[in-house]
Structure 1
Amino acid sequence: MFGLSALSCLSPISGQAPTRLLIGAAQAEDELGREVGTQLQNAQSALSSHQPAKALEFVNAADAVAGKSDYESYVIAQMRAAAASQAGNVPVALKAYETLIRNSRTTPAARQQMLMAQASLAYGARDYASAANAASRYLKEVGPNQQMQTLLLQCHYLQQDWKGTVEAGRAMLAADRKAGQIPAENQLQMLAAAYDQLHDTAGKTGIYVKLVKYHARPQYWQMLIHDLTTDHSLTPRMVFNLQRLRLATGLLTSPAEFQDMAERAVQMELPQLALNLLDEGYARHLLGTGTGAEAQAHFRAFVAQRAAEARTSLPAMVEKAKTSTEASPSLTAGYNLVLNGQVDQGLALMQQGLGKQPHQPDLARLSLGMAMMDAGRQTEALQLFSSMDGEGTANNLAQLWAVQLSARPSH
């Protein structure tokens, strides 16, 4: 009486698979006949001696025995998978694994191992379609696995199937998010390259945000800021927020850019914020020096005058915002209250604005987070920014601010 059991699979990314099977005690209802058992015993010995081709001959001899039981056919398929894998006969090994995978005798754990082995063998043989199929089945049945996810992405990527890469990558990110796992860096790199090949700037930017968030490297920041800066589809408010982010990361140093940033703040009816930003430029000695110092001083005086006027009219602005059905007045008046020291009242008014269905809700939430940050409420701002993990430029900028705030010392 003979029995058979498979060894565990090797790393699926390596392209290897089980190369040895052991014959031992079997259950009473699962017996190998003497003729089949002898042939498989010989096959096992050949495998142990690293003679896989000879082992396959013994397996074929066992398979040729007439009147085999279902159990005998199952054990023969196991041995054929091992011998073919060791022999490098990938088509035969894949077929044998498929037979085993579909057999009800295979336990769920063994099925998972076989799917991994099948994907690895096909990948090593550059049969990317079969490898992708096996990897997809594994991920669907078992769940997230970084080795299988990477292999699946690689199958599409190496075939330059950019749409397939993106589809697999998006499913991967959703699974990782559900499982609370951090996406692997190499997976995100392949996904970013695929978006780039598809000329999908928004998709590429979203992936670089994740690279910055989870695998922060200077080159990711540089690539991301460059792509955002050259994105002509950004709204003026998005450009302003990006300018502030560049300032926070030390990438905005030009006096002309400082003035442009301040002008945008004035246009957004936040002159005190414009004045604060100009004063930061003076503190960094980026303004107030050189041939442009006099013009810069005149501009600062203009902004200071606008800020004073805004403080005077702020109570009326707040009352008007409270009775307005539009979100914008509450968001603007609330931000001005924050900038002028009335933080709790200002943030409360902005929260009311969020409840009035703003036209761009993500941008409104981003503005609230910026107001929290400007008020010194770093923890609250970080929590809000971190919660904005959807798609779109406003959410991307929020995630970048979350990374930036996380790197700052808390107060």
Structure 2
Amino acid sequence: MSKLRFAPMFVLLAAVGFNATLPVLGLTQSAYAADDADKAKVETVRPEIGTPLQAAQALMKEQKYKEALAKIAETDAVGDKTAYETYTIDRMRGAAAASAGDADLAAKSFQAVIASGRLAPADQAKIVKALGSLYYEAQNYPKAIEWLSRSLKESGRDPETRTLLVQSYYLSNDIPRATTELQADIAADEAAGRTPTEITLKLLISCALKSNDKAAYLTTLEKLNTYYPKKEYWADLINKVQSKPGFSDRLILDVYRLKAATVQLQTSTEFTDMAQLALLAGFPAEAKKTLEQGYQAGLLGSGPDAAKQKRLRDQATKAAADDLKTMAQSEASVASSKEGTGQINLGYALVTAGQFDKGLALMEDGLKKSGVKRSEDAKLHLGIAYQMAGQKDKAIQAFKSVQGTDGVADLARLWVMQVNHPVN
């Protein structure tokens, strides 16, 4: 997980007036105080302090921040500074240092500004947040945690501050605390009907990786892909499910079917492998369609394997045509059988050939019969058939009925995700 990046500090500081146009460097300034009588007071800075600070302000306007710091440093030689003069110097020095990229000096200056007690509450809240961000950028994560936590405590929930805080836990290698905080944020978002941020979910995945928690990784990856479906997330998710212990090799064709519906098949080998598996399973129309997609994608029909790919395509085309000729006879045969597997397979073949109504009816009737071989696979295929037919509600219902520990239920769960959150 790469380090998150946020707005440069000088942008944050400009929000509270720490920029080159800040009109505080005349020789008088009204100071913030707690009561009305104090608010009426006017405090001054002496010319030997005001003059270099005004010069520093002009240099900051020209983005000459190091030169501005040098001008501000001239005030260090002035003795017997008033509290207001010290506050004004620290405030300007903090702005210049932050803009110059000197996080340590900026942090030191702003802490002195806060300690002065002269800031309005709104300004102080912004500076506390800015301090947390400064320490974060300086990779001083213990200090970042201290100030970001204070910001959240004093100012309430702020998504950016909260993200920086959790990121600080993560980067300081406090993975258990980062995990706990991230899980709490996600739960709070979901309870409030908000979508957890992609950054939050990706950070939790990184925590699972660091903890070697494969179950947590998969759970969070599914959540990430649910809210932010992307091909790269799908590819990782399918790979993780397929590599789980106990995943059955008989489901490889179903893996290809899910890939085709999400990340899409990416290589000539994937297209030809899926087509061959579909032929072996008795679904030549599916094999033919897969190969046609490979040719349309420009991945088949050229190179050293072009002749072999053409033979496979010719085989699938002929088998699909022959299958159509015998389907009526096959339908009568499987309908009279007490066992529903043949009826389910024929129904799926009809669906892949575009005959949705007839195929789905056969599959539904077949599942009602006793003795169905691999009934959970049949339910998965019924869901896929419903999805191909555009019947999404029925597809989800079928997928949710699938059970098992050999990977079939995992694939069904991912199909529900695909139906509800298709890849853009």
- What is the TM-score with the length of structure 2 in the denominator? 0.53
Q: Secondary structure at the match of 2:42?
A: coil
User: 279, 289, 296: which one pairs with 2:347?
Assistant: 279
User: CA distance change for structure 1 residues 127 and 44 in 2, over 3 Å: closer, same or farther?
Assistant: farther
Report matched runs for 1:191-230 at 5 Å. Answer: 191-230=204-243
Aligned counterpart in structure 1 of residue 245 of structure 2, from 232, 235, 241: 232
Number of the residue aligned with 2:44: 33
User: In 2, distance between residues paired with 1:26 and 1:233?
Assistant: 74
**How many aligned positions are there?**
304
Q: Is the 8 A contact 2:9 2:98 kept in 1?
A: no
Shift of residue 204, structure 1, vs aligned partner: 1.0
Name the residue aligned to 2:23: 22
- 2: distance between equivalents of 1:180 and 1:186? 18
Letter in structure 2 aligned against 1:130? K
* CA gap 1:204/1:379 in 2 versus in 1, 3 angstroms: same
Give structure 2 stretches of 5+ with no counterpart.
32-38, 262-272, 283-338, 354-361, 401-406
Are 1:401 and 2:413 an aligned pair? no
Is 1:47 the equivalent of 2:51?
Answer: no
Alignment of 1:121-136 (within 5 A): 121-136=134-149
Q: 1:74 to 1:205 in 2, by over 3 A?
A: same
Q: CA deviation digits over 1:220-261, x for unaligned, max 9?
A: 112112212332389x9xx999997875554895469979xx
State the alpha-carbon separation in 1 of the partners of residues 109 and 44 from structure 2: 21
User: Are positions 1:119 and 2:132 aligned together?
Assistant: yes
| Residue aligning to 1:145 | 159
Counterpart contact for 1:55–1:83, Cα < 8 Å: no
Q: Which amino acid aligns with 2:369?
A: A
Structure 1 residues 107 and 401, CA, compared in 2 at 3 Å: closer, same or farther? farther
Which range is displaced more, 181-190 or 248-257? 248-257
Identity %: 22
- Partner AA of 2:8 in structure 1: S
Residue 375 of structure 1, CA deviation: 12
Change (3 A) 1:373 1:255: closer
* Residues 192, 204 of structure 1: 8 Å contact kept: yes
Q: Which residue identity does 1:404 align to in structure 2?
A: V
* Aligned position for 1:110: 123
Letter in 2 for 1:54: A
Change (3 A) 1:42 1:192: same
CA distance in 2, matches of 1:120, 1:229: 41
Residue 373 of structure 1: CA displacement? 8.9
Matching residue's letter, 2:352:
R
* SS of 2:195 mapped into structure 1: coil
Structure 1 residue matching 2:43: 3-state secondary structure: coil
TM-score normalised by length of structure 1: 0.55
Q: Which amino acid aligns with 1:280?
A: Y
Q: 1:160 to 1:232 in 2, by over 3 A?
A: same
Secondary structure at the aligned position of 2:369 is classed as helix
**Deviations 1:89-137, CA, capped at 9 Å, x for gaps:** 4223213323444665434432342133213322332223323333344
The alignment's C-alpha RMSD in Å is: 5.2
Q: Tell me the equivalent position of 2:107.
A: 94
Q: Which runs of 5+ in 1 are unaligned?
A: 1-10, 260-270, 286-300, 312-331, 340-368, 387-392
Larger Rg: 2
Distance 1:305 1:219, change over 3 A: closer
Does the CA-based 8 Å contact 2:48-2:75 persist in structure 1? no
Equivalence for 1:4:
none
- 2:369 alignment partner, one of 284, 290, 308: 308
C-alpha spacing 1:308/1:211, structure 2 compared with 1 (3 Å) = closer
The answer as to whether partners of 2:229 and 2:421 remain within 8 angstroms in 1 is no
**Greater displacement, 113-122 / 73-82:** 73-82
